[in-house]
């Protein structure tokens, strides 16, 4: 019986450990691009679309997911901004209840992606 309780407890501990960050560790020194700021760092964990929107908002003071067009500007300026993974990033632009736009930061392609899939997140805010 004791062995059976250890496994769920270890699972829950790993879930909590994986979510440790504060707003300063994401925002860092924001980079200004056109009429918005970009957080210096990605969130440490991949997130589905709904969680990505919520976690960006938790940063406070107007932080949010970038729109599809803003995300493209991040891609165009990725060398200036720095720190991007060579992977997919969420935008806030929805297609329907199941899909939103993402951008691939290797070649710049944009396409619809199922909101339940976890991918990278970088927050922005207007100034």
Place of tokens 């632009």: 93
* Among 22-26, 101-105, 111-115, the least confident range: 22-26
Residue 43 confidence (pLDDT): 98
Among residues of the chain, what percentage have pLDDT more than 90?
80
**Hey, is 28 helix, strand or coil?**
coil
Please report, for the chain, how many H helices and E strands are present, in that order: 5, 6
Instruction: Please report the domains of the chain, with CATH numbers, ordered by start residue.
Output: 2-126 (3.10.100.10)
Residue 20 confidence (pLDDT): 61
Residue 8 confidence (pLDDT): 40
Residue 84 confidence (pLDDT): 97
């Amino acid at each position: 019986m004791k062995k059976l309780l250890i496994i769920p407890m270890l699972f829950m501990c790993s879930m909590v450990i994986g979510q440790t960050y504060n707003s300063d560790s994401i925002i860092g020194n924001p980079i200004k691009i056109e009429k918005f700021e970009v957080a210096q760092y990605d969130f440490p964990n991949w997130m589905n679309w709904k969680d990505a929107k919520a976690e960006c908002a938790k940063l406070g003071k107007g932080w949010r997911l970038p729109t599809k067009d803003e995300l493209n500007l991040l891609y165009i300026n990725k060398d200036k901004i720095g720190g991007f993974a060579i992977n997919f990033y969420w935008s806030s632009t929805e297609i329907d209840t199941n899909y939103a736009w993402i951008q691939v930061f290797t070649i710049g392609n944009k396409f619809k992606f199922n909101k339940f899939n976890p991918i990278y997140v970088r927050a922005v805010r207007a100034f």
